[in-house]
Amino acid sequence: MRFPPAKLCLLVSSLAFFNFGVFVMFAPKQWKAARFFRLSYRKIDDYVIPNITVVGYRNELVPTYDMDCQEDAHLFGNITVNMSAAEETYWTISNIVPPVRNLTSNETCKYLGQHAMINGTTSKETAIFEPIHCRFKHSVAIIIPFRDREEHLRILLGHLIPILQRQLIRYSVFVVSQIGKETFNKGRLMNTGFEFAVRTGQRSGIPFSCFIFQDVDLLPEYDTLRYRCSEGRNVVDHLSTSINKFDYKPLCCGMTVGGVVAFGERQYRKVNGFPNSYWGWGGEDDDINKRIHFRRLSIVRPKEPLGRYTMIKHDRDKLNPWNSQVDRNVRLALRRIRSDGLNNLNTKIVDVENYPLFTNLLVDVGTP
Ligand code: UDH
Ligand code: MN
């Protein structure tokens, strides 16, 4: 059998990591305190988030480092949008091949070798990734509202995960899946994913400093677009500022924050999250846009062309029809800012599926 060199290389690097992991597990005690790793294990009791019930466990493998991550070191700028990941299975790391540009297979190895899955080795653990040879600065939760777009999810993960790894951040991906056949409610999914991710970060010992809400069908075209929150207490980052579908023109009406948007925990709580009351397509992003301005947060956007995205072509989903109440709802958005959002969220996480590369929350969002 003939392996393509890149795949062989990935295989070798994942085997090497596996062996090293086993070696550390069985090493004498004093070796465990060796320069690169501090190992400790902690069991987390069942825990409850207001209105949401979940169960979680974590084994900790905490690296120690000598140097800060050189965040620019592995970035290219404009990258080819790679749709081929759709053909691969997305639950093994070795099937995720970085969108390679002028890159030898050796270098591909190097990038993946720099990351360790900190947990996520059993079905009870959430996969969080950290660079293992340097001190990361950003800890980021990616939250993807989802239903019935598996093809898009495969393409997105195949494209985005290598970028996140090259950016040398700590990250974890949360897919928030609406179950049942009720109309789609993106706001409730975002809020549910946020609360779950906050709790997961806290339990892992390092809270996420940034929560990025990401449509499943949007692929960044520049890996120099940073998946993180800007510094500053009163800032929200809108990342997807121009989309191929609209010829990269700024969107209508002074621009919303739809598509891909990043909040710190404090900022997201300050706007009370997304509204829960929007059913079907449209409006929730304009609503939160109004909330952001009302709470005097400013929106930071990347300089053109960094915020360019390719949207995977699709039709409107049957269970996500245009919401005829949108205009009225958005007009009255600020009346509901205090009463409709994180503080009255009432959804149920009915199951948590842990895949090696992401966590899938199965969510009952209720009925209109
Ligand atoms: N989403 C799902 N499943 C659904 C509906 C929405 O996963 O059934 C999520 C997904 O992350 C998606 C996001 O919600 O990226 C936004 O929904 P959308 O992609 O339908 O919104 P967009 O504005 O499309 O991209 C509007 C309909 C376009 C019809 C164009 C026909 N030519
Ligand atoms: Mn779309």
pLDDT (tens digit per residue) in 280-297? 999 999 999 999 999 999
Nearest CA to ligand 1 atom 18: 316
Instruction: Report whether residue 315 contacts ligand 1, using a CB cutoff of 6 Å.
Output: yes
CB-based contact 99:80 (threshold 8 Å): yes
Structure tokens belonging to residue 73: 């070191």
Which segment, 12-16, 223-227, 351-355, is predicted with the most confidence on average?
Answer: 223-227
42 is catalytic: no
Q: Which atom of ligand 1 is nearest to the CA of 318?
A: 8
pTM of the model: 0.80
Instruction: Report whether residue 201 contacts ligand 1, using a CB cutoff of 6 Å.
Output: no
- Residues near ligand 2 ion, CB 5 Å cutoff: 217
Cα(293)–Cα(230) distance, rounded to whole angstroms? 17
Q: Which helix (H) or strand (E) holds 8?
A: helix 5-26
Nearest CA to ligand 1 atom 13: 215
Could you give the count of Cα atoms lying within 13 Å of 205 in the half-sphere of its Cβ? 15
Q: What is the pLDDT of residue 235?
A: 97
Q: Averaged over 305-329, what is the pLDDT?
A: 94
Out of 77-91, 125-139, 206-220, 238-252, pick the least confident: 77-91
Helices (H) and strands (E) in the chain, counts: 8, 17
Q: What percent of the chain is modeled with pLDDT above 70?
A: 68
Please check the confidence at residue 188 and state whether its pLDDT lies above 80.
yes
Q: What is the pLDDT of residue 76?
A: 82
Cα(94)–Cα(274) distance, rounded to whole angstroms? 36
Cα(15)–Cα(220) distance, rounded to whole angstroms? 30
- Catalytic one of 125, 221, 223, 284: 284
Please check the confidence at residue 183 and state whether its pLDDT lies above 60.
yes
Q: What is the pLDDT of residue 20?
A: 36
101 is catalytic: no
Distance 361 CA to ligand 2 centre (A): 20
Q: How confident is the model at residue 243 (pLDDT cuts 50, 70, 90)?
A: very high
Please check the confidence at residue 228 and state whether its pLDDT lies above 60.
yes
Cα(294)–Cα(236) distance, rounded to whole angstroms? 13
66 is catalytic: no
Distance 309 CA to ligand 2 centre (A): 11
Q: What is the pLDDT of residue 24?
A: 35
Domain ranges of the chain: 1-37, 51-364
Please check the confidence at residue 261 and state whether its pLDDT lies above 90.
yes
Please check the confidence at residue 36 and state whether its pLDDT lies above 50.
no
314 is catalytic: yes
Homologous superfamily of 51-364 in CATH?
Spore Coat Polysaccharide Biosynthesis Protein SpsA; Chain A (3.90.550.10)
Q: How large is the angle between the packed helices 284-294 and 186-203, nearest 10 degrees? A: 60
Instruction: Report whether residue 147 contacts ligand 1, using a CB cutoff of 6 Å.
Output: yes
Each residue's pLDDT tens digit, 97-144: 333 323 333 333 334 334 555 555 556 678 788 876 678 899 999 999
Q: Averaged over 328-356, what is the pLDDT?
A: 92
- Quickly tell me which residue has 């891909």 as its tokens: 260
Cα(340)–Cα(325) distance, rounded to whole angstroms? 16
Q: What is the pLDDT of residue 280?
A: 97
- The dihedral sign for the CA sequence 367, 51, 120, 122: negative
Q: 3-state SS string over 70-108?
A: CCCCCCCCECCCCCHHHHCCCCCHHHCCCCCCCCCHHHH
Mean pLDDT, the chain, integer:
76
Q: What is the pLDDT of residue 203?
A: 85
Instruction: Report whether residue 182 contacts ligand 1, using a CB cutoff of 6 Å.
Output: no
Q: What is the pLDDT of residue 151?
A: 82
- DSSP 3-state of 344: helix
149 is catalytic: no
Please check the confidence at residue 343 and state whether its pLDDT lies above 60.
yes
Structure tokens belonging to residue 334: 């600020």
DSSP type of residue 79: -
Out of 21-25, 68-72, 332-336, 363-367, pick the least confident: 21-25
- DSSP 3-state of 238: strand
Structure tokens belonging to residue 295: 């709470």
Distance 315 CA to ligand 2 centre (A): 8
Distance 314 CA to ligand 1 centre (A): 8
Nearest CA to 168 out of 95, 73, 82, 90 is that of 73
Q: What is the pLDDT of residue 44?
A: 27
